[in-house]
């Protein structure tokens, strides 16, 4: 799997788990609610970072960039 798919999977899963946890607020113990939401927040941010990672760091896109100093003054 590439970074975009992993990022999208992290993003969707953290949103779904966060909604489920917030909906089950009354049934969960008080001490466990905050750590689950913190872990979901980390997954959410990681998903956004991985989703946008390919735009700047793609190996395929590096071939499109050309050097600007290839011309010599002697010609």
Residue 13 has pLDDT above 80, yes or no: yes
Per domain, the residue ranges of the chain are 3-54
Percent of the residues in the chain that have a pLDDT greater than 90, as a whole number = 25
pLDDT tens readout for residues 26-57: 888 878 888 988 999 999 999 988 888 755 55
pLDDT at 11: 92
CA distance 45 to 42: 5
Tokens 């100093």 map to which residue?
A: 69
pTM over 0.85: no
Per DSSP, the residues of 8-36 read HHHHHHHHHHHHHHHHTTTTS-HHHHHHH
Average the pLDDT over 12-25 and give the result: 91
């Amino acid at each position: 799997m590439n970074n975009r798919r992993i990022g999208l999977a992290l993003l969707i899963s953290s949103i779904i788990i966060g909604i489920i946890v917030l909906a089950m607020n009354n049934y969960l113990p008080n001490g466990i609610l905050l750590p689950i939401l913190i872990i979901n927040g980390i997954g959410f941010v990681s998903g956004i970072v991985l989703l946008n990672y390919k735009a700047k760091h793609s190996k395929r896109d590096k071939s499109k960039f050309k050097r600007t100093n290839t011309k010599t003054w002697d010609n």
